[in-house]
Structure 1
Amino acid sequence: MVMGEQKLLAAFDAVVSDVYEAALVPSHWDVALTSLISHFSPPRWDVAMLVWERLHPATGRFIGAAGVNEFARAGYIAMFAGRQPWSVNGHALPVGKVVHSDEIVPRELFKQHDFYTNFLANWEDEVAIIASLDRHGQDHLGLCMPAPDVGDTSILRHAVTRLVPHIQRASRISRRIGEADLRAANAEAGLDASPSIILTLGPDMELLHANPRAQKWLERTQGVRQIQHRLHFADRQVRSRLEKLAKGHGAKRTETVAITDESRTTFLVAMRVEPNVANDLAGANGGAALLLVGGGRRDVSVEIVERLRDWFDLTPSEAKIAAYIADGRTLEEYANDRGVSINAARFLIKGVFAKTGVGRQAELAALLHEAPLEWQSPIDNFVTTV
Structure 2
Amino acid sequence: MNGLTPESIEKLYAAALDPALWGGALTALADDLGAFGAMVHSMAPDPEDSIMHVGRLDPDLTRLYLEKYQVNPMSRMLIDRRPGEVLAAMSVCGGVPALSRTAFHSDILAPQRVAEVTNLLYGDWGDALTGGYAFCLDPREAGGTAAHLAALQRASPHLTQAIDLARHFAGAVNRNWQALLETISAPAMLTTGEGRVILTNHGGEAVLRRGAWLRLQGGRLVATHAAAQAKLAKAIRAASLRPEAADRPTRLAIAAAGGGPPCLAVIGSAPIIPVAEIGLPRPGALLILQDPATRPDPLLLRELFGLTDAEARIAAHIAAGRSLGSASEREGVAHSTARTHLQAVFGKVGVRSQAALAGTLARLPMRGTNTDCER
Shared topology, TM-score over 0.5?
Answer: no
TM-score normalised by L of structure 2: 0.42
The structure with the larger Rg is: 2
Does 1 or 2 have the higher relative contact order (CA < 8 Å, sep 6+)? 1
TM-score normalised by L of structure 1: 0.41
